[in-house]
Structure 1
Amino acid sequence: MAPAKRTALVVGGAGFLGKHIVQQLLDTGRYKVRVFDIRACGVPGADMVVGDIRKQEDVTNACRGVDVVVHVATATPTSENALNKQLMDDVNVKGTAHVVEACKQLGISSLVYTSSASVVFDGSDLVGVDETRPYTARPMDYYTETKVEGEQLVLAANSASLAAVALRPSGIFGEGDTVMVPTFVRQAKAGKMKYIIGNGKNVWDFTYVGNVAQAHVLAADKLAIGSPLAGQALFITNQEPIPFWTFTGDMLQGLGYARPHIKLPLLLILCIAMLFEYVIRPLLKPIKELSTDFTVFRVRIVTRQRAFSCEKAKKLLGYVPGVPLQEGIQRTVAHFEHLRNADAPAAAKAGKAQ
């Protein structure tokens, strides 16, 4: 007789990463999957509960009868809501508190939380950093500040009745991405992606979305009260650091756009970003609220080293990325074929990203 399936609730399961987690949980055959989000998930086989994470009652109702909660919902810092501190606080902090409270009230024993590698980023280079590095004392943007608070809430809830773990992915990309690739293409069409800020040698840990989902499924499988995983934070990456501008170029070239190739001095660009963010935008605010991806945080983050150790994830989860970086890039380019540069020469369209 086959063992009874566990019921997993994916909070934020209608989002980019959430859908991949939902699908992989279903694919195991070991889970019944319920999704809680403000919109329908659209993944066949998953039960859908529409609600608002900002309302405790909605969250609690969605959590009834589940064995494990995977909390991936977040308000991301896109140009449209980068300044919407209220939204980020309501979703990333208060919403997370609602999830923790529901788990406690209903006696749910496992909570997997999607954090961010940026919780340790203070604007300086990170190379081979592991989980012993403390939280940043000066988050580079409000989103990061709320992710620090959210992770702290979850890990503080780890107890004799609730096992909690936080996963910290870095640079998620892949099919269904709503931020990274669409932004690259939008900026390329505007002529803004031909530039490299700084020397172009800084390496990053990008992570294919399927591998991030894989880590979440492993965490759902292995997390239990009193287990070595309980109460831990784990970095999750592809373990293949690559220069930021090489990755960007591979993605753009794959879609028929020019690779970044014109180098701009970091100090000059940083000064311009500071002038815009701290002088021009505040002056114009009474007239018009400007939304932009050109911020001091964005300049700093794309010009720094960001490479993390996954040794802890290997040890506690048995995590080995299932999809290599270049394969992930190829899958992503194929998925975004509809964003291909219509004016690209035939050779560029057929060419493989180098």
Structure 2
Amino acid sequence: MATEKGRGATLNGESRRFNLAEHIADGDWLDALELVDGAKPRRRTEVTVERPRTIISRNKSPDLSFTQSINAYRGCEHGCIYCFARPTHAYHDLSPGLDFETRLFAKPDAPALLRAELSKPSYNVSPIAMGTNTDPYQPIEKDWKITRQCIEILVECGHPLFITTKSDRVLRDIDLLTRLARDRLVAVMVSVTTLDPKVARTLEPRAAHPLRRVEAIRQLASAGVPVVASISPIIPAITDHEIESIIETVASAGARDATFIPIRLPHEVAPLFRAWLQEHYPDRSARIMHILHEIRGGRDNDPNFGTRMRGQGVWADLIRTRFIKARKRAGFSGERLTLRTDLFRRPQGRQLQLF
């Protein structure tokens, strides 16, 4: 499949992990389509309403700094080819390829579900993370505003919040974030994978321009909102040469620290990434995969706790050493951002809100 303008994946095959029946395309209909329209139409973004029973997901991973998260959306229109969340679309009998970035799910009941869960006497407060699976500020948030509604409830309750995004749309909610920041209840991580707009255009085609993300860091920091920059994932022979320049740039913009993860290729992400390399970097695709295999213990992906976020071997050590040195030159102290949990108050019932 040729690259579709404005999309990340070059493939849209079904997942084989769950032995689902293969879909057969209607060849007659496709032939007629080309005869009538003259060309295959561009794929448009579709949004389906999802009605979950709960909205807070919990994990026990030793690799993560949070135990609770909220995902207002499934799938992500940003179309980042490396996104480790792509395989989740297979659970819906959808492709982790183009379906993941065009057939999205929104959860408009999320704010009501969040209020209900926070109201339970059994609820134990700990920071809630947004953006751990798909971006809470992807383009459809402009119309659905589910992320903002959830944050409004967290502000009301004095609840701690971590946000991860690669969109400057986060600035729309700076009024809420500054209120949380006054009480040390929020930290925002902005992803800056590359400063090169040409690389970003194919790597993360519908995400904000890199300089707009840097400006988001600047404005958040100026407003007193703690910001950390993530230069994840680092992709050898594509973005690794930018480690030092990205860290210097985000430090100048006011970021308090920076983090990184070498690229991961779980499940269907690996063949999607290979196809993307062949399309955009055919001259170095074999070399890149060779390096990735060295970082991941000879495999496309290392799923093991402890090593999956760090990588191993000479290449991983080299990247880590460069990152640490650049981080030190930028003046980052490495002090961990901790959020308060002692200000939490359960949300008021709907009747009390009338008074």
Q: Which has the higher strand share?
A: 1
Q: Please classify the TM superposition score into its range, dividing by the shorter chain length.
A: 0.3 to 0.5
- TM-score, structure 2 length as denominator? 0.34
- TM-score, structure 1 length as denominator? 0.34
